[in-house]
Structure 1
């Protein structure tokens, strides 16, 4: 589903797509996000950061949020006037909710093979959180903006 929402001035654009909970679905989420943002004239910086955020959140939905037979949902809400993007990835596993790591958290393994994805999301997004997605899932939301040059 792809539609523009009425907004004062420039319209806010919303893009939503259900994708299979597979590696192919995660890869497609990233490609669709980039295509959608480019077609809407989002800045290069915002599109590049969104590509990485979508890739991480979609991969997490496939790896940690997968329920056999259930898809995950990608939603992009772009406000071009503010150069602001909200990325939402919803999956069927509400019991595994990610939490932002605090700077004081340390990993027991100095070279872990995983667990860095949300650290990357934290670095690229202005903020992110996780909320319930009824009836039993969760939505991880990340907000990205392009700083105003001063």
Structure 2
């Protein structure tokens, strides 16, 4: 889905994710974690990856064998790759926690450079059968 690089676009990405993944009959915890990941990745794309007039893309799919849910957000600022800050943000800072908010629920995350000027920031959530005993 292509969305505008605005706070509204980021909000729509989260709503789309919840509705779409609920239709896939995924466990509630996976859907909730995916919504949080999409909210953060889409907000970052809208804030840091937006030359004027360039939308961002969101892609949701399961990996081969349906073992994980992969969330991808592609924007047009390939020159701005996310990287951890050298120092953690102060307690009163209003930004700087994006990667921490992605790392918490994600089982894996990364960045894939695309055709110039794009990049794709992605995160994966393992889809473990509910009777496996592993909490999600």
Q: Under TM normalisation by the shorter chain, which class is it?
A: 0.7 to 0.9
Q: How many aligned residue pairs are there?
A: 131
Is 1:109 matched with 2:90? yes
Change (3 A) 1:108 1:30: closer
2:81 matched residue in structure 1: 97
User: Which residue of 53, 56, 72 maps to 2:40?
Assistant: 56
Change (3 A) 1:79 1:133: closer
Q: Secondary structure at the match of 1:130?
A: strand
Higher mean displacement: 44-53 or 80-89? 80-89
Higher helix share: 2
Higher strand share: 1
- Partners of 1:47 and 1:121 lie apart in 2 by 14
Which 5+ residue runs of structure 1 have no aligned equivalent? 1-16
Change (3 A) 1:20 1:108: closer
TM value normalised by structure 1 = 0.79
1:141 matched residue in structure 2: 122
The CA RMSD measured in Å over matched residues stands at: 1.9
Which 5+ residue runs of structure 2 have no aligned equivalent? none
